[in-house]
Amino acid sequence: MKNLVSVAAVALSLAAAPVALAKDTLKVGMIVTLSGPPGALGNQARDGFQLALEEMGGKLGGMETEFILEDDELKADVAQSKARSLVEREEVDFVVGTIFSNMLAAIYKPVIQSGAFLISPNAGPSTFAGKNCHENFFVTSYQNNQNFEVLGKIATDKEYRKVFMLAPNYQAGKDAMAGFKQNYKGEIADEIFTPLGHKDFSAEIARIADAEADALFIFMPGGMGVRFVKQFRASGLADKMAFLSAFTVDETTLPAQKDDAVGMNGATNWAPDLDNEQTAAFTAAFEEKYGYIPGGYAMQAYDSAKLIDSAVTKAGGVGDKDAVRAALEAADFTSLRGDFSFNNNHYPVQDFYLLEVVKRDDGKYHTSIVEKVFDDYADSYADACKL
């Protein structure tokens, strides 16, 4: 009988073990786009987050961390069902996602309704920055319009009198044009919207040549940017006018654009050669492990992991949601960007830079800081947020 009791006790303790373990374990789910050509962006985010996790010994905030990676396949219904499974079945504490704004719109409701924290490592739509901001939603990248606003400022500062504008015909393309115009005061030669996934830019390039503008403002993400840069370089126009771009020449497209992109300009919140200790260490470690140069997507995911780590440490676990939220808001971690804080709408206040594509001595390409354009730049929607 005594034996039986002890056996039962052992059995009970065994059965209880997973429960006890679950309490020390932090669960983080990530939803990014890993399939198709845009998968290159999601790969960077995944690698950036995993590098941070690995450097901290698989722990965030001192807690053993279970990392669950999901691919949204750039389909809203897939993103939504993956998000539901993360918060309902896996009961994760944090969801990190997404790359694309339309995917964020899909996962936002299920994640926020579940009470989990949602941290976007890239998508920063205006939708959730203003009056629809939420206490459990944080963005570690930027508000989408900001990169374009920065380019508008650059065009004004450099006194370009006539700018030709080119973007794909979808919401982000229209936002890009509007964002640029906000800070640009000169003349607009023409604005052209191409179909999404456009293949042959020769018609557009002929018109650019015809317009004789001082600068080209362009937003052509992914494969479109690769094709455009190649065709633009071949047309000989690249030497005749300034090239101001967002999401067109970056670490995800440069391996394909190579020499054609060298000297072209972009604008964003970071570059792999930003002058601070943590960036130097991060870039070196990332390249060593994954064999390619990290871009903003990797950096923002890395920062997201650091942010979660700092908040869980400060709040002493995830039991007290209010404490975790306050700790997230404090953003008490060393960002790869240096200066980093959250605005009242939980979008970042940070510096923005003019970038230029350079070729490194070992034959690899990356974006490089030219100069700072904005110091502690906040987005223009924060005022409408009641937080």
Asked if 43 is part of the footprint of another protein (rule: CB under 8 A), the reply reads: yes
Handedness of CA 197, 199, 203, 206 (dihedral sign): positive
In angstroms, the Cα distances linking 363 to 40, 255, 262, 274, 293 are 20, 10, 12, 19, 12
Cβ–Cβ under 8 Å, residues 242 and 199: no
Considering beta carbons, is residue 6 or 35 the nearer one to another protein?
Answer: 35
Closest CB to another protein among residues 26, 226: 226
Q: How far is the CB of 359 from another protein (least distance, A)?
A: 15
In angstroms, rounded to a whole number, what is the distance separating the alpha carbons of residues 272 and 48?
A: 13
Query: Element (H or E) spanning 193, and its range?
Result: strand 187-194
Output the smallest distance, CB 236 to another protein, in A.
4
In the complex, the smallest distance separating the C-beta of residue 290 from another protein, rounded to whole angstroms, is 12
Strand-pair partners of 117: 94
Q: How far apart, in whole angstroms, are the C-alpha atoms of residue 379 and residue 338?
A: 18
- Contact range with another protein by CB under 8 A, out of 67-75, 153-161, 224-232, 242-250: 224-232
Query: Minimum Å distance from CB 190 to another protein?
Result: 9
| Sheet of strand 25-32, all strands in order from the earlier edge strand to the far edge | 59-60, 63-71, 25-32, 94-97, 117-120, 137-139
In the region spanning residues 152 to 181, those forming contacts with another protein, defined by CB under 8 A, are 169
Q: Which listed range, 126-134, 202-210, 276-284, 320-328, lies at the site for another protein (CB under 8 A)?
A: 202-210
- How many residues at the interface with another protein, by CB under 8 A? 42
- Report the residue number, 37 or 338, with the smaller CB distance to another protein: 37
Q: Which of 215, 205, 193, 299 is nearest to 252 (CA)?
A: 299
Which of 29, 39, 221, 294 is close enough to bind another protein by CB under 8 A? Answer: 39
Interacting residues with another protein (CB under 8 A): 35-40, 43, 169, 191-195, 197, 199-200, 202-207, 209-210, 212, 222-223, 226-227, 230-231, 234-237, 240, 252-253, 255-258
